Amino acid sequence: MDNEYYLELSENPVQFENASTVNNVFFDEANKQVFAVRSGGATGVVVKGPEDKSPIAFRMDDKGEVKCIKFSLGNKILAVQRTPKSVDFINFIPDYPHLEFSHECKTKNANVLGFCWTNWNEIVFVTDQGIEFYQVLPDKRTLKMLKSQSINVNWYIYCPETAVLLLSTTVQGNVLQPFAFKNGTMSKMSKFEIELPMVPKPAKLSLSERDIAVASIYGEVYVMYLKHHSRSTNSSGAEVVLYHLLREGPCKKIHVLKLNTTGKFALNVVDNLVVVHHQSSQTSIIFDIKLREPDCAMNVHQPVLPARSIHPCKIPLTGALCLFLYLIFLLLSVYLSGYLWYLQVKLQPTVNLLQDKGKLMDFLLRRRDCKMVILSVCSQMLEGGEKGNLPVVATVFDKLNQVYKEYLEAEQAYTVAMESGPSRFSNSYKRPVRTQAVIDQSDMYTHVLSAFTEKKVINKFIIAVLMEYIRSLNQFQITVQHYLYELVIKTLVQHNLFYMLHQFLQYHVLSDSKPLACLLLSLESTYPPAHQLSLDMLKRLSTANDEIVEVLLSKQQVLGALRFVRSVGGHDNVSARKFLDAARQTNDTMLFYTIFRFFEQRNLRLRGNPAFNQGEHCEEHVAYFKEVFGEQTLMKPPTK
Amino acid sequence: LLACSSAAGSEMASGMQEKQYTPSLLSFFIYNPKFGPREGEEEKKILFYHPSEVEKNEKIRNVGLCEAIVQFTRTFCPTKPAKSLHTQKNRQFFHEPEENFWMVMVVRNPMIEKPSKDGKPATIEYQEEEILDSVYGAVLRQCYSMYKLFNGTFSRAFEAGGVELLRQKLEKFFYRYLQTLHLQSCDLLDVFGGISFFPLDKMTYLKIQSFVNRVEESLSLVKYTAFLYNDQLIWSGLEQDDMRILYKYLTTSLFPRHTEPELAGRDSPLRPEVAGNLLHYGRFLTGPANLKDPEAKFRFPRIFVNTEDSYEELHLIVYKAMSAAVCFMINASVELTREFCEQLDALVGPQLTLLASDICEQYNINRRISGPEKEPQFKFIYFNHMNLAEKSTIHMRKTASVSLTSVHPDLMKILGDINCDFARVDEDEEIIVKAMTDYWVVGKKSDQRELYVILNQKNANLIEVNEEVKRLCATQFNNIFFLD
């Protein structure tokens, strides 16, 4: 059971003084900071973030109860709301006046519902009558209005990640008006209506902010609506409806996540997965909107995995075991506990929960820390050796290589763009990010294949898997690295499957390369045909003529070597001594004579004299020639 | 001549012509001297004799003669016993495939019958030098290999059931096999006994690999697989020597017997019954002709492979879809059932149909890319001893009955002669022969490869012929190491 929890809380929660009558706790999602405000700030404010080693601590005057407190991006300016009309600011930029200044909302009779920072110096006030977008001028200690918009607001949600502000309007509250913020500009996006399960009569506020969330999933902005089960409609349970928010054009309802149960829920987005927590069963389920259900209508999603609880965790300091309370999520009473955790998805347990390996790979490839898990899935899959496994192996390899190929292509496009000079394109081209999902050949080799092939049993399966991997790489037109070929050869040789090897080489399945040719040469003593295969390969490489000569000479095929050199037009440059040495070793005097004569003729042709030059170091051979054939047999220099 | 034909008419003319007789099989016998060593028991030595009608004493005499020749020549070279005996009328070939088991094939020399002229009786002129030892020696060795493929070794049969069983097996096999020997059309290709490989791009080849591996995985009974397309080999799970003879059987015997029923007319009896919707073109070439037939028998030919070491007996299932044929070999101790065959049919049929059309498509694409100019205008035979790869543009087609060549038998003889010269030495060689009319024959040997080219160029000289062959090597064989 222990290895089935696929959700867990971060190891080091942010710890703070829990909320009490004297201590107010606030959480700012934008900076992921927890503010503990003691006695309105008079006895201190402590700010802790997830990565901050040393918390920020300061004091401020107690000017009434703090309703909301947030730093601007980069902790430059602190904004505090204490009254329904105004927001107070304190500079945290060194060398700027530290004195508080206040700003009242412009709209008359409006109440400030809250505010959100959209930049280090830009802030939006959300009032019940509209929004006001300001630039904060910390040096002048004033705010400059950038834009405003009148609209009746029930409540609002701000998504710092995407800088999208969502306002609930109309009496029922189900017409949502999104705004996007970017570098001092505010743009109004198309409003849209959430379909309520039933329309109340008389009309009253029916959509709660608790049922709406905005999140960025796979780089797109979605509004998530938790649609509760209604008895009147015949639905099987609650669902989460995802509206795709576009910069331009209307917002579209495009995904429906089936929760298949009823009750109280809470939503999270972790690693592009929608996590839905269910209170009464104390379990959570996850959805991946990119995972297509083959048997379901378009974009209706079932949970990827069976429901599981979040892994029970220990509170670090007290050491007490605490089953995670789902209540915490639902009531946002995290403030009471004194700990702020981050939810994480553990990938290893998903391996056993998702039987369909193809689907599992699709799922894993989209996760952030997936590499080692994917590799371990591959290893497991190969070692399982179940029947009918090969098609699965092929599917998995194809999925991995698809991602690998996309990365290689992006990388190549980038390189080409860079090489074409720092032109106008260079800005638009960003170096592609290599995510963990890019599993290249060296990863496969190191973590999966080399260990797998070392199994002692003679197994068709090993060869089949290697060939399947090579097939998949070829299918995606990825150049196969020679160490994979070497692995194939090593494995075949180990099992004495030389004829198989021969056939692979015959069909050029193992692509030509010098290292491979050399490896083949080394096999000659155990498998003589390797010699021919190697020479053919060297020939095809066309850059390995020197190697061919060496091979032939080592086989004492001196004449053959010389003829080869001549056929590729290199006979004017080769070392005479090398050939004469080889000819001497054969103990064939006629062969020696022929070779010697050839070089005399070359000398004559190149230098007008058949004699060898000093630098050629052929004295020993000249002497031998004289000894065997007599001095008069030496070629005479031409008479002038 | 002109006067003759006009005066005597056509009947007379044909009567006047010389009559050519091609080489033919005179007799074929197998004996083991150890089986009847004593005087009066000579008949026991004979295990098989063709023609069987020959009188007993003559059989004994002929066997005895062969025994004597072999024994006598052994004194000159104990390690290399006699291989053939040349006489005016015929030529005898000896082969000892297993210890003390001798196979002898007697071939009548080709001859020319000269018609009776001026009252003189017709004369017969034997052409003793026209047939080649290498070719017919290879034919004899092939006889043994083919026997062994389907029956195992002589000695195993003898151990299992004594001389009686061995005699039965030999009788049963050779009675039919000898009828399929067509000695008149044997040539250099029989010496090589090569395998024609189907040219294929890497990706399609890998797909075939993947197919073979998957089938072997899901049908774990399958021990070896071989894959052919267009009667050419693409993949062999068998070792080279076993594949060589199996290939010979498939391409010269099994495949020609099963002409494409897909190509046959709708009402042709060749067209198999197609039940319901046609999902694939797969069918069994060995075993049941129709799976749906309730009377169907699930018996497959058995073959023997790896006889040197593991000595395996296997069922041979040959399954074909369009031009792709796959051999599945399964341990013979397993009984093959209808269920298995149905499973195989359901698994392999659709995949193989798809693969076959893939290969066809890819092949056509490659051919289009390489263009027609790459199609060889040369007549050549290529053979690589290393992988037994063989390629011939001289032979139009090989069938069970005849192998048609596009060149004159005299030229084929020259090729055979050059081959014999090559066989004598280890070193690389090149031989250029000027044949009659305008033909040049060039033989090249480089390492383990042999290439024979026939050129027909008017007034070509040696240098031009040499250049022409170089050009051929550069276009046809540019991806292998071929010394020139």
SS3 string, A479-501, reads CCCHHHHHHHHHHHHHCCCHHHH
Contacts of A389 in chain B (CB under 8 A): 217
Exposure of B128 by Cβ count < 10 A (0-12 exposed, 13-18 middle, 19+ buried)? middle
If you measure CA to CA, which chain A residue comes closest to B429?
A560
| Kind of pairing between the strands at A252-258 and A300-301 | parallel
Contact B448 A387 (CB under 8 A): no
Cα separation, A233 vs B256, whole angstroms: 70
The per-residue pLDDT for B483 is 66
H or E stretch at A436: none
Q: Does B483 touch chain A (CB under 8 A)?
A: yes
Q: What are the start-end ranges of the E strands in A271-391? A: 273-278, 283-287, 300-301, 313-314, 321-322, 339-340, 343-345
Contacts of B483 in chain A (CB under 8 A): 560, 563-564, 567
The per-residue pLDDT for B235 is 95
Name the phi and psi angles at B350, rounded to 5: -65, -40
SS3 content of chain B, % helix, strand, coil (to 5): 40, 25, 35
pLDDT digits (tens, 9 = 90+) for A32-45: 888 888 887 788 88
Contact B210 A468 (CB under 8 A): yes
Look-up: residue for tokens 């070491």?
B309
Name the phi and psi angles at A36, rounded to 5: -110, 110
Q: How far is A228 from chain B (nearest CA, A)?
A: 48
Contacts of B449 in chain A (CB under 8 A): 532
Name the phi and psi angles at A598, rounded to 5: -55, -45
- DSSP annotation of B195 reads B
H or E stretch at B176: helix B154-177
Q: What is the ipTM of this complex?
A: 0.85
Contacts of B480 in chain A (CB under 8 A): 536, 539
Q: Does A218 touch chain B (CB under 8 A)?
A: no
Q: How many CB atoms lie within 10 A of CB B125?
A: 12
Q: How far is CA B450 from CA A145, A538, B245, B446, in A?
A: 91, 20, 21, 7
Amino acid identity, position A179: F
SS3 content of chain A, % helix, strand, coil (to 5): 35, 25, 40
Find residues 510-529 of chain A whose CB sits inside 8 Å of chain B: 529
Q: How many CB atoms lie within 10 A of CB A639?
A: 4
- Find, among A435, A373, A375, A377, the residue nearest to A403 by Cα: A435
pLDDT band at A556 (very low <50, low <70, confident <90, very high): confident
If you measure CA to CA, which chain B residue comes closest to A527?
B386
Q: Does B239 touch chain A (CB under 8 A)?
A: yes
Find residues 41-100 of chain B whose CB sits inside 8 Å of chain A: none
* % of chain A surpassing 70 pLDDT: 90
The per-residue pLDDT for B268 is 45
Contacts of B236 in chain A (CB under 8 A): 499, 503
For all residues of chain A together, what is the average pLDDT? Answer: 85
If you measure CA to CA, which chain A residue comes closest to B220?
A387
The per-residue pLDDT for A295 is 58
Q: How far is CA A556 from CA A328, A584, A587, B92, B257, in A?
A: 84, 10, 10, 40, 50
Q: Does B477 touch chain A (CB under 8 A)?
A: no
H or E stretch at B115: none
Q: How far is B237 from chain A (nearest CA, A)?
A: 7
Q: Does A539 touch chain B (CB under 8 A)?
A: yes
State mean pLDDT over A387-400: 88
- Which of A536, A537, A555, A586 to mutate to probe the B interface, most B CBs <10 Å? A536
pTM of this prediction exceeds 0.90: no
Least confident window among A75-89, A290-304, B114-128: A290-304
Q: What is the pLDDT along chain B (484 residues), one digit of tens a residue?
A: 333 333 333 344 445 678 888 899 999 999 999 988 888 888 889 999 989 899 999 999 999 999 999 888 888 888 888 899 999 999 999 999 999 999 999 999 999 988 877 777 888 888 888 889 999 999 999 999 999 999 999 999 999 999 999 999 999 999 999 988 888 888 888 999 999 999 888 999 999 999 999 999 889 899 999 999 999 999 999 999 999 999 999 998 888 888 655 454 444 444 444 444 467 888 899 988 888 888 888 899 999 999 988 899 999 999 999 899 999 999 999 999 999 999 999 999 999 999 999 999 988 887 777 655 555 567 889 999 988 999 888 887 555 445 567 788 888 889 999 999 898 887 888 899 988 777 889 999 988 899 999 988 778 888 888 888 888 888 777 777 776 5
Q: How far is B275 from chain A (nearest CA, A)?
A: 28
Nearest to B483 among A467, A500, A564 (CB): A564
If you measure CA to CA, which chain B residue comes closest to A478?
B203
The per-residue pLDDT for A251 is 84
Contact A387 B220 (CB under 8 A): yes
Q: Does B214 touch chain A (CB under 8 A)?
A: yes
Contacts of B196 in chain A (CB under 8 A): none
Contact B203 A474 (CB under 8 A): yes
The per-residue pLDDT for B277 is 41
Q: Does A535 touch chain B (CB under 8 A)?
A: yes
Contacts of B447 in chain A (CB under 8 A): 531-532, 535
Amino acid identity, position B229: Y
Question: How many Å from the N-terminal Cα to the C-terminal Cα in chain A?
Answer: 101
Q: Does A175 touch chain B (CB under 8 A)?
A: no
Q: How many CB atoms lie within 10 A of CB B410?
A: 12
Contact B236 A502 (CB under 8 A): no
Contact B236 A538 (CB under 8 A): no
Q: Does A325 touch chain B (CB under 8 A)?
A: no
The per-residue pLDDT for A65 is 87
Q: How many residue contacts between A and B have a Cβ separation below 8 Å?
A: 90
Structure tokens at B46: 């004979």
The per-residue pLDDT for A56 is 87
The per-residue pLDDT for B11 is 40
Asked whether residue A321 carries a pLDDT value surpassing 50, the answer given is no
State mean pLDDT over A430-449: 90
Contact A560 B428 (CB under 8 A): yes
Q: Does B236 touch chain A (CB under 8 A)?
A: yes
Name the phi and psi angles at A333, rounded to 5: -85, 25
Contact B213 A475 (CB under 8 A): no
Nearest to B484 among A475, A503, A567 (CB): A567
Q: Does A503 touch chain B (CB under 8 A)?
A: yes
The per-residue pLDDT for A333 is 41
Contact A474 B479 (CB under 8 A): no
Of residues A559 and A50, the one with the higher pLDDT is A559
Contact B217 A539 (CB under 8 A): no
The per-residue pLDDT for A428 is 63
Nearest to B206 among A460, A509, A564 (CB): A509
Contact B210 A535 (CB under 8 A): no
Asked whether residue A325 carries a pLDDT value surpassing 50, the answer given is no
Q: What pairs with residue B175 in β-bridges?
A: none
Q: Does B428 touch chain A (CB under 8 A)?
A: yes
